[in-house]
Structure 1
Amino acid sequence: MISRRMLSKLSAVAVLALGAGFSLPAAPALAETAVKLTLDWKFEGPAAGFLLAQDKGYFKAEGLDVTIDTGNGSVEAIPRVATGAYQFGFGDINSLIKFLDEDPSQKIKMIMMVYERPTFAVVGRKSLGVTTDPKSLEGKKLGAPPPDGAFAQWKAFKQVANIDDSKITLESIGFPVREPMLAQGQVDAVFGFAFSVILNLKAQGVKDEDIATILMAENGLNLYGNGVTVNADFAEKNPDAVKGFMRALAKGFADAVANPEEGVAAVLKRNETLSKDIELERLNMANAMNIKTPYVVENGFGGIDAERLAASIETLKLSMGLKGNVKPEQIFDASYLPAKEERMLP
């Protein structure tokens, strides 16, 4: 038995120890939630919003330890998330609609729209007879990477743009040779994201004045573009982590719009072989054409219009042969987005 006198002495010793500079062990810090994000493509200018959210500690402030990996196309990012290999992804909503239409049980949803206007384009060279008129593609050879989001819309685009494709030759090509083949005149035009193809062509030595860009969004194809997806099982079990991820991204993209040079610096940290000037131009193009659009200025970054999404599903029945198995609410879940005032871009 310990007497009251002994307890009193032990207490006094503890007080003396604390006064001498000793302290009791601190409670362990809460572990961060580790998650992985797959991008659609390489570390280039338009990825700045994701990278700034990481570099400026926005993810960490939300209790997240985020790994960001590059991708091999905006279509491939979708199964990476659906299978749970990645908790988050950045991919094409139209390809996601097709994916869910084929199997609505797949565990993936989009939760933030990034490219409110898709950057889908056919880019050619004026010296090869291509202009900004879609009809100029008739009789030409077009380079088409099979996993490309823009090429996926060809069937619908040629109809809305009234293109006669009976004399058009489609050549299946890989992403690495897309711009070199166009620069060398082996094809007359290629499918791709406008800001990627244009600047990669310039890097190949093609002059600005020789580049003809046909944006599908400006020629009758009213679709959405790339956005952030989440694995549905992960979201159900970790709703607060998903909401924190969205808050961090909203800040990251706002910073990339407000200070593109800071955004490009984050990109160059991960790929020193890139040109600062080219990536700055690429980011500015993406901000102007796809991210900070008139709709976003009015309604905030990250959301969608449900009626427009429903209309785009009807368009995709033509371009992608949808069976009609999926509805807008199965594709996009806005419940994880921050409040509108937290999503206004500068």
Structure 2
Amino acid sequence: MIKASLTAAIAALSLATVTQADTNANFTLDWKFEGPAAPYFLAVDNGHFAEQGLNVDISAGQGSLDAIPKVATGAFPFGFADINSLIKFLDQNPDAPVTAVMMVYDKPPFAVIGRKSQGINGIDDLEGSVLGAPPPDGAWAQFPIFAAENGIDVGQIDVRPVGFPTREPMLAAGEVDSVTGFSFSSYLNLVRLGVPEDDLTTILMADHGVELYGNAIIVNTDFAEANPEIVTGFLTAVAAGWRDAIANPQAGAEAVIARNPAGDVEFETLRLSLAIASNVLTEHTAENGMGRIDADRFARALAQLATTYEFQITTDAPQYFTNDYLPAAELLTLQ
């Protein structure tokens, strides 16, 4: 009887192991396979997801407004998206089953990138200039907050709507004086187009009064409530992938290029290094590890968003972010 029970227990344990090993946890990015996506590919290649019993397929995206509905509908259990876009999405769709569970860009990459040869050396040069801004761009969405915090009269700027594919080429051609975009992406795209690095001015909004957070790992809440251990395992692997990328950015870039052969290892190494230095490794993450938010700062961020966006419902951090699925603090250290 004891032997039979033991045999049954072993069989059950084996079945549980197989089931866990077969768990699919597909993940949608917000953008293309570029340097900042390296940690997730390293989590695959270095076995971090497998250690958590997860089989993860990573898909490219077309912006946060593409990634968020994919997770909310359950098409993907996990995604990567700008938390400010998520906040607005949930304000308009309050019952949508999606929330942020791990902050990645503690310092958002929203930036204005200008050319010194076009007269842009700093914030004071924006008035009277021509600014190219894609209407769906996350950085452009936050530009009014940046302008308000720095006393910029947007009416004194010639804002021209541009497409994502034409944004950097127009600046490279001198058709606009600056553009809004993610600091690490637009900067590298311009260098790749032949613009000298010493001709570029990068104005990071987070360095000039913008309290907002950036991109976070998001999850379908129905999935998370049913599979909390899977979510924690996924986030544990993500943190390990970021540690690997920080320790060896070139290896991270090589993991990206293995999936995007049209890319360039040198450029993606630099793009990843820029994201690490400017957006991920901050004073807060050095002290607290990655993933968590500061409640007071988040409240200030919500107040800033309210200056440019009319909320339909009362705003409160737990509506948009939870620490409940994060692993132990020692697993969230970055270095």
TM-score tier by shorter-chain length is: over 0.9
Following superposition, the deviation at residue 135 of structure 1 comes to 2.3
CA distance in 2, matches of 1:81, 1:319: 26
Correspondences of 1:147-296 after superposition (within 5 Å): 147-296=136-285
Aligned to 1:100: 90
Measured on the aligned residues, the alpha-carbon RMSD in Å equals 1.5
Contact 1:142 1:190 in 2 (8 A): yes
Structure 2 residue runs of 5 or longer lacking an equivalent are: 1-13
Match of 1:122 among 85, 104, 112: 112
Structure 1 segment 27-38 matched on structure 2, within 5 A: 30-31=18-19, 32-38=22-28
Instruction: Supply the AA of the counterpart residue of 1:221.
Output: V
Which amino acid in the other structure matches residue 303 of structure 1?
R
Structure 1 equivalent of residue 61 of structure 2: 71
Distance 2:118 2:112 in 1: 14
Residue 76 (structure 2) pairs with residue 61 (structure 1)? no
* Partner in structure 2 of residue 5 of structure 1: none
C-alpha distance in 2 between matches for 1:69 and 1:307 = 34
SS in 1 for 2:258: helix
Residue 317 of structure 1 contacts residue 323 of structure 1 at CA under 8 Å; is this kept in 2?
no
Distance 1:318 1:327 in 2: 16
Higher mean displacement: 323-332 or 298-307: 323-332
Secondary structure of the residue aligned to 1:77 is: helix
Q: 1:140-151, aligned counterparts within 5 Å?
A: 140-151=129-140
* Corresponding residue for residue 50 of structure 1: 40
Q: 1:252, 1:300 → 2: CA distance?
A: 14
CA offset at residue 333 of structure 1?
A: 0.8
Q: How many residues align?
A: 320
**C-alpha distance in structure 1 between counterparts of 2:65 and 2:299, whole Å:** 20
Distance 1:102 1:311 in 2: 21
1:330-341 mapped onto 2 (5 Å cutoff) = 330-341=319-330
SS in 1 for 2:65: coil
* TM-score, structure 2 normalization: 0.92
How far apart, in 1, do the equivalents of 2:172 and 2:111 lie?
A: 17
Amino acid at match of 1:130: I
Report deviation, 1:168: 1.2
CA distance in 2, matches of 1:74, 1:283: 19
Name the aligned partner's letter for residue 66 of structure 1.
Answer: V
CA distance in 1 between counterparts of 2:150 and 2:92 reads: 27
Partner of 1:344: 333
Distance (whole Å) between structure 2 residues aligned to residue 204 and residue 230 of structure 1: 36
Partners of 1:185 and 1:218 in 2: how far apart?
26
Corresponding letter in the other structure for 1:94: N
Distance 1:147 1:72 in 2: 11
The equivalent of 1:4 in structure 2 is none
Whole-angstrom distance in 1 between the partners of 2:44 and 2:255: 9
- How far is 1:324 from its partner? 4.6
Alignment correspondent of 2:100: 110
3-state DSSP class of the match of 1:286? Answer: helix
Deviation beyond 3 Å, 4+ runs, structure 1: none
1:76-109 superposed Cα distances (whole Å, 9 cap, x missing partner): 2111111112111111011111111223211110
Counterpart contact for 1:120–1:150, Cα < 8 Å:
yes
* Alpha-carbon contact 1:152-1:320 (below 8 Å) kept: no
Q: Is the aligned partner of 1:321 residue 2:310?
A: yes
Structure 1 unaligned spans of 5+:
1-26
Identity %: 50
Give yes or no for contact 1:75–1:148 (8 Å, CA) kept in 2: no
